Structure 1
Amino acid sequence: MPGRDLDLLIDAARAAGRIAHGFWRQSPETWDKPGGAGPVTAADLAVDRMLKEELRAARPDYGWLSEETPDDPARLAHDRCFIVDPIDGTRAFIEGDTSFAHALAVAERGRVTAAVVYLPERDALYAATEDGPATLNGKPIAAAQPDHAGGATVLTSASTLAPEHWAGRTPPPVRRVFRASFAWRLCLVAEGRFDATLTLRPSWEWDIAAGDLIARRAGATVTDRSGAGLRFNRPDPRADGVIAAGGALWQVLQGGLATPGSQPPTLRKTL
């Protein structure tokens, strides 16, 4: 079944790319979500509608969780659930940048079994199943395996490396880089182009589900900030931060964090 689901997700992701391309760099209608949840565009909603119609028609017994669909607790009654971000990196999409992605996953009883992250304007399609390799455009990829933090490249926001979030107020000696799509960040770690990605803020499942499987099948360790493996289709669809890295670097990053009780109550909203 994961292989059949993967084929379905790949076809849906490519169809999403065609829809998004029709809006990209065409000044799509844009507005802000309530509560400071970020921007959304007409393209996000058009992609979401297509994905929901096509995927649910193909798998009517699967639940549905998407950033752009009001959450329905009925998804919790399903053994399998689609977890979708129609456009991850909406700000990049609005700016006409090529770094936005479509992130599609199937979760079964808490674990992701099939996943696709597709960047249509780069024609880069990352994919994995729970029992197969992680791939980029059909070719296997592997995470880097650094044994220390010195000089490591970490995809994260500047606020994450603020001294107050680290034991002894000493951030790791890494080189910080940022990309708008968190799903793509996880895939860049899977590809070995960067050594790690890290966020300390609560992270929505639709941002991380697809990239979680792809990074893990490429040989990276992916957990929440406490070191626990990620679980999906939960009543509260958020993880307590995300750490993804290959080799010993994961241990360095996770072990270097200050305990949550010593953290300030909020972080900046940038993942």
Structure 2
Amino acid sequence: MRGPDDDLSLLVDAARAAGVIALRYWRQDPQSWEKPDDAGPVTEADLAVNDELQRHLTGMRPDYGWLSEESEADPARLDARRCFIIDPIDGTRAFIAGQEGFSHSLAVAEGDRIVAAVVYLPVSGRCYTAAADGPAQLNGQPITPSDAGIDGASVLTYRAASDAVHWRGGMVPGFTREFRPSLAWRLCLAAEGRFDAALSLRAAWEWDIAAGSLIAERAGAAVTDRRGHRMRFNSPRAMVDGLIVAGPRLHGELLDALQS
């Protein structure tokens, strides 16, 4: 039977092929439009990458389910033992703007847990990887989160997370807020200690965080939803209730400081 390492090798190859396709469109004024229901932008590049990933990955693993931001929902995935969870281009707004910080986020779930994961940034060549039984790596080198405390920590999050309403007693901790366009990349940046934490108090789509969550976990970070519960994937709604990703010390301090 195939193990996580077999799936990881497949995902790495697929992510690099996705990067080749994406870069054909990057800074070439790709066609783009807004999705219905304020779901954000999509480009012809997103769809081209998605089509190639679905063709290749499901061709290699026809018994796996498929969950992707750019595919119609397939309820059959809920009955599959393993399921691909894919964001063809995470950070589409950055991609449209010609910025470098977009990524391809590819993961395999077994049951409700992620067992293989890749986040690949094709412009910089940064390739984050992890399997359930191995280390988290960046371009083949192990990564670890920081051991920072909450005061002065660099936290990757959006502006509204600094509103007093979210924090116990209205006291916003003394962290420094930073931002990067790809949510998958934010989790990886926390995993490698370039930033101290990634935080979202909004519900997050599984395809944005599935790969990054395993990479951070295998790096040694504490990885939970915003209320401190273990993340579960391949769910009917395909959403997780926010996220806190940080070294164990900072994770605990953020969780204690948040409104329950």
Amino acid at match of 2:109: A
- The CA RMSD measured in Å over matched residues stands at 0.6
User: How big is the shift at 1:247?
Assistant: 2.8
Tell me, yes or no, if the aligned pair for 1:157 and 1:178 is still in contact at 8 Å.
Answer: yes
- TM-score norm. by structure 2 comes to 0.98
Q: 2:154 maps to what in 1?
A: 153
Runs of 4+ deviating beyond 6 Å: none
Partner residue of 2:25? 23
Q: CA deviation at 1:70?
A: 1.1
1:1-271 equivalent positions in 2, closer than 5 A: 1-146=3-148, 148-259=149-260
Cα shift readout 1:167-209 (whole Å, capped 9, x = no counterpart): 1011111011000100000000111100001001110000000
CA deviation string 1:75-111 (max 9, x = no partner): 0010100000000000000000010000000000110
State how far apart, in whole Å, the 2-side matches of 1:83 and 1:100 are. Answer: 17
Take 2:172 and 2:218, find their aligned partners in 1: how far apart are those partners? 28
Q: Which runs of 5+ in 2 are unaligned?
A: none
- Aligned residue pair count: 258
SS at match of 2:47: helix
Match for residue 264 of structure 1? none
| Identity across the alignment (%) | 58
SS in 2 for 1:122: coil
2:127 counterpart letter in structure 1: L
Q: Distance in 2 between matches of 1:121 and 1:215?
A: 22
Q: Distance in 1 between matches of 2:172 and 2:96?
A: 33
Q: Which amino acid aligns with 1:205?
A: E
Query: Following the alignment from structure 2 to structure 1, what is the Cα–Cα distance between the partners of residues 93 and 223?
Result: 25
Q: CA deviation at 1:258?
A: 1.1
Q: What is the alpha-carbon distance in structure 2 between the residues aligned to residue 225 and residue 126 of structure 1? A: 23
**1:6, CA displacement in angstroms?**
0.4
Q: TM-score, normalising length from structure 1? A: 0.94
Q: Tell me if structure 2 keeps the 8 A contact 1:144–1:247.
A: no
